[in-house]
Structure 1
């Protein structure tokens, strides 16, 4: 997918995520298309009329910088809103792949997950809006040791390819995590610390004051965890994941 300078496109929205359901769904990540000018909001979205994807500036040399320049929300009352650098919750870069999570301009509990792949520059390949839980009832974690007990979840494939990366999102009220299964990526994209997880797996971790990421190799694939939580939280979650060869990945069991 490539953009022209004057191109503005729209991303289709997952109704399950926007309505706050806790059921897992599987959708193909939307690739913004030059033929699509606008769409009506999906059922369950009461305020946002459309999400526009714009061309980033030449100075946007990282996925995080590009993300805040590319997203624009248009509300039904005609007003518009864009995210700022302060809305970047996490940016995980590994090899030629990257995942950025934003705090949506819609307000608390609303997030936007963006998927990037690098060729001559970082190319946006998919966008997933996500909404945190609207109730306080405990959600079914299916063996995952998440840092919250109430959350919403969704699953997205980055493309139609058989070996396309797949990302699972887990959105709480104040934080959001992503678990991704990628074609094997190098582990040296940025300075990292090597740690041994509780299950014996060697992983690479990176942490700032706002975010953390963790990655490790499994068979011929790479697992990447990221979010606006501590790296210790990601270590606990990673140790609860089954092998990527498991048909239930990323879920390891029942409650």
Structure 2
């Protein structure tokens, strides 16, 4: 595997994890390391369900498999008691594939109310380009949606700006996850299952379904491609899309400045 992958992934994973823990105002818990084979590691001291996560490993992706098939082989959690866990197929909440990019959301084996979102890119095979880990925490949640039609009343959030490879915002409560991704515009062929619809502002959007029959929605906004994913219904995806400001807004995806 390319060194670029290990380098970028370790940096992006670290940033995402720090973003997840920023609500606790403790950004010094996470230390970045690499083992001798180049696998990116994270050391964590977070207690989850009386189990303490020691490290998270990102393994090399199997060849010629889909992102959802890859993630259950790549993402490994090790606990302080020596136990190790991988996600299973039942852990996968959605797998959105948009041309050469994919967004995969899972229930993380780290513990209850933990989620992880992976951005995959395709270059001969699918590989993880960035990763966000987030846990719903009632004591640190938000209730001001700032005009964004989220389906949850209270939520935690995390975002990651990968610059060349898109920006991702993730919102969760105990059971629900929504991911909004903004890419620089590129062309691709939608699947045969996709259907076209109109947003309230007249913009053409496309509703598609993944291999788990989970809907996702995407549309072009000037020079940007907006993708909305989650374990929610197609009507909720449409409500979210209709509530989003212009992709060029400095507050996107909120309609005004947020502290998410």
TM-score range relative to shorter protein: 0.7 to 0.9
- State the match for 1:169 in structure 2: 170
Farther-moved stretch of structure 1 (72-81 vs 188-197): 188-197
2:222 matches 1:213: no
Cα distance between partner residues in 2 of 1:101 and 1:254:
26
- State the match for 1:198 in structure 2: 200
2:190 matches 1:185: no
**Structure with bigger RCO (C-alpha 8 Å, 6+ apart):** 1
15 and 194 in structure 1: CA distance in 2 versus 1, 3 angstrom threshold:
same
Name the TM-score, length of structure 2 as normaliser.
Answer: 0.81
Residues 10-25 of structure 1 aligned to structure 2 (within 5 Å): 11-12=13-14, 14-18=17-21, 21=23
Cα distance between partner residues in 2 of 1:2 and 1:136:
38
37 and 91 in structure 1: CA distance in 2 versus 1, 3 angstrom threshold:
closer
Within the candidate set 40, 50, 55, 2:55 is matched to 50
The secondary structure found in structure 2 opposite 1:188 is coil
Q: Is the 8 A contact 1:180 1:223 kept in 2?
A: yes
Cα distance between partner residues in 1 of 2:20 and 2:47:
9
2:10 matches 1:2: no
- State the match for 2:89 in structure 1: 85
Q: Which has the higher helix share?
A: 2
Farther-moved stretch of structure 1 (231-240 vs 196-205): 196-205
Q: How many Å apart are 1:188 and its aligned residue?
A: 2.5
- State the match for 2:6 in structure 1: none
The secondary structure found in structure 2 opposite 1:47 is strand
Aligned residues: CA RMSD: 3.0
Q: Is the 8 A contact 1:22 1:133 kept in 2?
A: no
37 and 92 in structure 1: CA distance in 2 versus 1, 3 angstrom threshold:
closer
- State the match for 1:246 in structure 2: 249
Cα distance between partner residues in 1 of 2:208 and 2:40:
39
User: Which stretches of structure 1, 4 residues or more, deviate above 6 A after TM superposition?
Assistant: 43-46
Within the candidate set 63, 78, 82, 1:74 is matched to 78
Q: What does the per-residue CA deviation read over 1:144-190, in whole Å, with 9 as the maximum and x for residues that have no partner?
A: 010011111111123xx4x4300000111101110011011335232
Q: How many Å apart are 1:200 and its aligned residue?
A: 2.1
- State the match for 2:124 in structure 1: 120
22 and 100 in structure 1: CA distance in 2 versus 1, 3 angstrom threshold:
farther
Q: How many Å apart are 1:80 and its aligned residue?
A: 0.5
Q: What does the per-residue CA deviation read over 1:4-48, in whole Å, with 9 as the maximum and x for residues that have no partner?
A: xxxxx97536245257x399x9xxxx9x89656644215677711
